[in-house]
Amino acid sequence: MKVLLVEDNERVSRFVVKGLREAGHAVDHVENGQDGLFLATTETYDAIIMDRMLPGDLDGLGIIENLRGTGNRTPILILSALSSVDERIKGLRAGGDDYLTKPFAFGELLARLDALVRRIHGDDVGATHLAVGDLQMDLRSRKVSRGARAIALQPREFQLLEYLMRHVGQVVTRTMLLENVWDYHFDPQTNIVDVHISNLRQKIESQGETPLVKTVRGAGYMMTAEG
Amino acid sequence: MLTRLTRSSALTLAIFYVLLGVVSLALFAFPLWYAWQVTIEDGRIELIKEDVQRFSEVFDRRGDEGLADFINQRVSLQIAGERILLMADPRQKPMAGNLSAFPAEIPSAPGVYTLNMTLSGHPTRVVLERAALPGGYTLLVGRDLTHLSPLETRFWEGLAGSITIVIGVGLFGGWLVRRAVLSGIDNVNRGVAAIVHGDLSHRLPVGGRGGEFDMLSITINRLFDQIEQLVHGVRDVSNSIAHDLRTPLAELRSRLEEIVVTRPSGEEVYDEVAAAVEDVDRVIGIFNALLRLAEIDTGTRRAGFVEIDPADLAAKAADFYRPAAELKSISLDFRAETGLGKISGDPLLLSQAVFNLLDNAVKFTPAGGHILVEATQGEIAVADDGPGIPGDEKQHVTERFYRGDSSRGTTPGVGLGLTLVSAITSLHGGRLDLSDNHPGLKARMILGGSAS
């Protein structure tokens, strides 16, 4: 995909540009608000990564409000050192689609960017049935089965599995799971998400069955049919 | 010294009180003096009337010549207290008395008058009666009002004396008060100066009599207590931050240096660097916790308050932690009182607080233990049957970076968890209560404000 990075910190931008290019994405990078707004309105991007505090008169939120005001719906991920919940809400109200606090792990940035782009392209939002390999999920009757085996899940486990299946082939991070499955928008500094995943794995991956949930080191988890 | 004296508010106060004393003395003396004056004048008029009466009787009995002789005899014997005594014939020619001529100032009609006239060349205030005798004779009898009686003189002397005493006593009292106030203020000044110069343990002496200066000293001492506690707190926190950050940073340093020194293969380098990133994340985690604490302590987060159901919130947190507890063979139960009202609060912060309590409970409770999360009216409690916290440590565990002796070095953590819980509950107008669960610990988040 094609990504615009608006970020004035040299070190952060070098790291993000390099990482994104290595992941196979095309990246345009600008260092101030005016250039950012210009490129965002003249070119077409799949996603924009926007730093909040930028040199010059136009800051990140200003650009976003400008873009949204002219009907531009490109998914925007806000990067910011301002970490409080209020700042996060301010960013999302201005029209950002996701908010990531500095310092961040690159895996987190990439996974969120991926999720953003797919969400906007909205592949299966209205689906009533999800399938990954021989794992089946009926969203209306809330039944899960693998092959002929019916799997009984707790409500939260069902939500967790649904999120993973909806993001099949994508890396989902622990914080993404916390935010989207539990609605906890903070870092609880625990490994409890891993315990939940491990419990879920035990239920959907019986002996002899192909593993479906892969651990991605330094980032999170990914559901794949290939195993 | 002089400027100090003139600027002294105690002296100003003393002068004010002296003036007040003098004014009240005057207010007291003048009506008295006036009443006295009136009494004296009335008394003189009474005497004059008696004289006139007596002279009229003499005139009736002995005729004009007889009265003239009687008057002259009185004047020559100098037994008369009258300043004015005059008998005149119908043409107003003096016949007898102590005036050589009939005074021009006296009105022609008979009556009693109080007036100023010149007697022997001196202006004199007199009270006199002009009486008409049968046959056209006129009689003048008057008394002097200018000369004070000895009693009047005493009165004025007494008044002057009282004023002098009032001024003297007032100034002396003012000086005493000023000395007492100044010594009290000097004490306070010296004490504060000592603190300013860094002697944080200095305290103001308290006399124990419960006077105003003792009260002031007690208040200031309390202020000093808080300052000392804050300064030590800040010092302890910086020490702890330095100490707790040094460990992960030292690990990070040796990890990186090892790579430089041993130059391992590419794959190994990546593993080491990934581990180094984890070390850095630990440091960042400590800073994030500190920042969050600061954010909560300033109370700005109150803006994000919404109506929440405490039972829901606690149940969700319990569900979230249950797998971790079960992994350690600890049972985690949830119980809620029915019909709990909603409360006003920040759901994320409260969840975080319950997490921290659960985290501690799971961390410290041994396998086979029990944890109970309870939601009751205005309260969320987490109880376990682990080792608990010794009595004397309970008051310290909410301090930043405090770690119990038993957990230091054996259990992971940096000692900010309960500090955060305590800060979050006080942001919600409540407090964190730690009590003995016999055995174990019961941590109750008592939340003050309800939504309704």
pLDDT digits (tens, 9 = 90+) for B112-134: 888 887 777 777 778 888 888 88
* Residue in the block written with tokens 């998400």: A193
Pairing of strands B370-376, B331-336: parallel
B333-387 pLDDT tens trace: 999 988 888 888 888 889 989 999 999 899 889 999 999 999 998 899 999 998 8
Q: Which residues of A touch B316 (CB under 8 A)?
A: 182
CA A147 to chain centroid, in Å, comes to 30
Q: Which of A156, A190, A196, A215 to mutate to test the interface with B (most CBs of B within 10 A)?
A: A190
Q: For the purposes of burial, counting CB atoms within 10 Å of the CB of B87, is it exposed (0-12), middle (13-18) or buried (19 or more)?
A: buried
- pLDDT tier for residue B5 given thresholds of 50, 70 and 90: low
Q: Which of A192, A198, A199, A217 to mutate to test the interface with B (most CBs of B within 10 A)?
A: A192
CA B12 to chain centroid, in Å, comes to 20
8 Å CB contact between A15 and A106: yes
Contact state of A182 with B303 under an 8 Å Cβ cutoff: no
How many CB atoms are located within 10 Å of the residue B62 CB? 13
Q: Which residues of B touch A191 (CB under 8 A)?
A: 324
Q: Which of A105, A187, A192 sits opposite B323 (nearest CB)?
A: A192
Q: For the purposes of burial, counting CB atoms within 10 Å of the CB of B236, is it exposed (0-12), middle (13-18) or buried (19 or more)?
A: middle
Q: State whether residue A195 sits within 8 Å of chain B by CB.
A: yes
Q: State whether residue A189 sits within 8 Å of chain B by CB.
A: yes
How far away is chain B from the Cα of A209, in angstroms, using its nearest Cα?
A: 23
How far away is chain B from the Cα of A50, in angstroms, using its nearest Cα?
A: 22
- The span from the CA of B378 to the CA of B430, in Å, is 9
Largest CA distance in chain B: 161
Collapsing DSSP to helix, strand or coil, B121 comes out as coil
Contact state of A182 with B289 under an 8 Å Cβ cutoff: no
Q: What is the CB-side half-sphere exposure of residue B138 using CA atoms within 13 A? A: 21
- Name the packing angle between helices A155-166 and A192-204 (round to 10°): 90
DSSP characters over chain A: -EEEEE---HHHHHHHHHHHHHTT-EEEEESSHHHHHHHHHHS--SEEEEESS-SSS--HHHHHHHHHHTT----EEEEES--SHHHHHHHHHHT-SEEEESS--HHHHHHHHHHHHHHHHTSSTT-SEEEETTEEEETTTTEEEETTEEE---HHHHHHHHHHHHTTTSEEEHHHHIIIII---S---S-HHHHHHHHHHHHHS-TTSPP-EEEETTTEEEE-S--
Contact state of B288 with A195 under an 8 Å Cβ cutoff: no
Higher pLDDT pick, B405 / A89: A89
Q: Which of A83, A85, A199 sits opposite B323 (nearest CB)?
A: A199
Contact state of B289 with A189 under an 8 Å Cβ cutoff: yes
Q: For B80-89, what is the mean pLDDT?
A: 76
Residues of chain A with CATH 3.40.50.2300: 2-121
B412-421 pLDDT tens trace: 556 678 888 8
Collapsing DSSP to helix, strand or coil, B413 comes out as coil
Token readout for B372 is 């109970």
Contact state of A156 with B301 under an 8 Å Cβ cutoff: no
CATH fold of the domain at B2-152: Beta-Lactamase (3.30.450)
CA B358 to chain centroid, in Å, comes to 47
Confidence at residue A122, expressed as pLDDT on a 0 to 100 scale: 59
Q: State whether residue A85 sits within 8 Å of chain B by CB.
A: yes
Q: State whether residue A81 sits within 8 Å of chain B by CB.
A: no
Confidence at residue B71, expressed as pLDDT on a 0 to 100 scale: 84
- The span from the CA of B201 to the CA of B221, in Å, is 10
DSSP characters over B139-204: EEEEEESSSPPHHHHHHHHHHHHHHHHHHHHHHHHHHHHHHHHHHHHHHHHHHHHHHHTT-TT---
Shortest CA distance from A192: residue in chain B:
B324
Of the candidates B361, B365, B354, B371, the one whose C-alpha atom is nearest the C-alpha of residue B317 is B354
Shortest CA distance from A184: residue in chain B:
B348
Instruction: Tell me what percent of chain B is helix, strand and coil, each rounded to the nearest 5.
Output: 60, 15, 25
Token readout for B103 is 């005074």
Of the candidates A121, A218, A215, the one whose C-alpha atom is nearest the C-alpha of residue A166 is A121
Which CATH number applies to B300-446? 3.30.565.10
**Residues in CB range of B360: below 8 A, 6 or more apart:** B417, B418, B441, B443
Q: For A127-139, what is the mean pLDDT?
A: 90
Pick from A75-79, B314-318, B401-405: least confident: B401-405
Confidence at residue B452, expressed as pLDDT on a 0 to 100 scale: 37
B234-267 pLDDT tens trace: 777 777 777 777 877 888 888 888 888 888 888 8
Contact state of A105 with B274 under an 8 Å Cβ cutoff: no
CA distances from A36 to A56, A71, B232, B250 (A): 11, 16, 49, 41
Q: Which residues of B touch A187 (CB under 8 A)?
A: 285, 288
How far away is chain B from the Cα of A177, in angstroms, using its nearest Cα?
A: 12
8 Å CB contact between A172 and A132: no
Q: Which of A105, A195, A218 sits opposite B323 (nearest CB)?
A: A195
Q: Which residues of B touch A89 (CB under 8 A)?
A: 304
pTM of the entire predicted model: 0.62
Question: B135's torsion region: left (phi>0), alpha (psi -120 to 50) or beta?
Answer: left
Which CATH number applies to A129-223? 1.10.10.10
Q: State whether residue A122 sits within 8 Å of chain B by CB.
A: no
Handedness of CA A88, A90, A93, A96 (dihedral sign): negative
Q: Is the peptide bond before A103 cis (omega within 30 degrees of 0)?
A: yes
How far away is chain B from the Cα of A181, in angstroms, using its nearest Cα?
A: 11
Contact state of A186 with B289 under an 8 Å Cβ cutoff: no
The answer, yes or no, to whether residue B407 has pLDDT greater than 80, is no
How far away is chain A from the Cα of B324, in angstroms, using its nearest Cα?
A: 6
- The span from the CA of A23 to the CA of A62, in Å, is 29
Which CATH number applies to B212-294? 1.10.287
Contact state of A186 with B348 under an 8 Å Cβ cutoff: yes
- The span from the CA of B258 to the CA of B252, in Å, is 10
How many CB atoms are located within 10 Å of the residue A66 CB? 17
How far away is chain B from the Cα of A128, in angstroms, using its nearest Cα?
A: 26
- pLDDT tier for residue B203 given thresholds of 50, 70 and 90: confident
How far away is chain B from the Cα of A218, in angstroms, using its nearest Cα?
A: 8
Confidence at residue B81, expressed as pLDDT on a 0 to 100 scale: 62
Confidence at residue B419, expressed as pLDDT on a 0 to 100 scale: 84
Q: For B68-88, what is the mean pLDDT?
A: 78
Q: Which of A85, A189, A199 sits opposite B348 (nearest CB)?
A: A85
CA distances from B424 to B226, B345, B445 (A): 22, 10, 9
Q: Which of A92, A153, A189 to mutate to test the interface with B (most CBs of B within 10 A)?
A: A189
Contact state of B304 with A85 under an 8 Å Cβ cutoff: yes
Q: Which residues of B touch A197 (CB under 8 A)?
A: none
How large is the C-alpha radius of gyration of chain B?
51
CA distances from A187 to A101, A184, B280 (A): 11, 8, 16
A114-123 pLDDT tens trace: 888 887 665 5
pLDDT > 70: what percent of chain B? 89
How far away is chain B from the Cα of A198, in angstroms, using its nearest Cα?
A: 9
Contact state of A192 with B320 under an 8 Å Cβ cutoff: yes
Rounded to the nearest 5 degrees, what angle is found at the Cα of A183, between the Cα atoms of A177 and A188? 70
Residue B43's identity, in one-letter code, is G
- The span from the CA of B120 to the CA of B123, in Å, is 8
How far away is chain A from the Cα of B401, in angstroms, using its nearest Cα?
A: 16
- Segments of B393-448 assigned E as strands: 431-436, 441-446
8 Å CB contact between A135 and A212: yes
How far away is chain B from the Cα of A194, in angstroms, using its nearest Cα?
A: 9
- The span from the CA of B98 to the CA of B82, in Å, is 9
As its CATH architecture, domain A2-121 has 3-Layer(aba) Sandwich (3.40)
Collapsing DSSP to helix, strand or coil, B95 comes out as strand
Contact state of A190 with B303 under an 8 Å Cβ cutoff: no
Element (H, E) at B118: strand B111-119
- Chain A, chain B: beta-carbon pairs less than 8 Å apart: 52
Q: For the purposes of burial, counting CB atoms within 10 Å of the CB of B408, is it exposed (0-12), middle (13-18) or buried (19 or more)?
A: exposed
Confidence at residue A112, expressed as pLDDT on a 0 to 100 scale: 92
How many CB atoms are located within 10 Å of the residue B22 CB? 16
Q: State whether residue A190 sits within 8 Å of chain B by CB.
A: yes
DSSP characters over A153-187: --HHHHHHHHHHHHTTTSEEEHHHHIIIII---S-
- Please give the mean pLDDT across all residues of chain B: 81
Contact state of B274 with A217 under an 8 Å Cβ cutoff: yes
Shortest CA distance from A217: residue in chain B:
B274
Residues of chain A with CATH 1.10.10.10: 129-223
Token readout for A139 is 């969203």
Q: State whether residue B308 sits within 8 Å of chain A by CB.
A: no
Q: For the purposes of burial, counting CB atoms within 10 Å of the CB of B38, is it exposed (0-12), middle (13-18) or buried (19 or more)?
A: exposed
Shortest CA distance from B412: residue in chain A:
A190
User: How many helices (H) and strands (E) would you count in chain B?
Assistant: 8, 12
Residue B94's identity, in one-letter code, is P
Task: List the 125-164 stretch of A: residues with Cβ below 8 A of B.
Answer: 156
Residues of chain B with CATH 3.30.450: 2-152
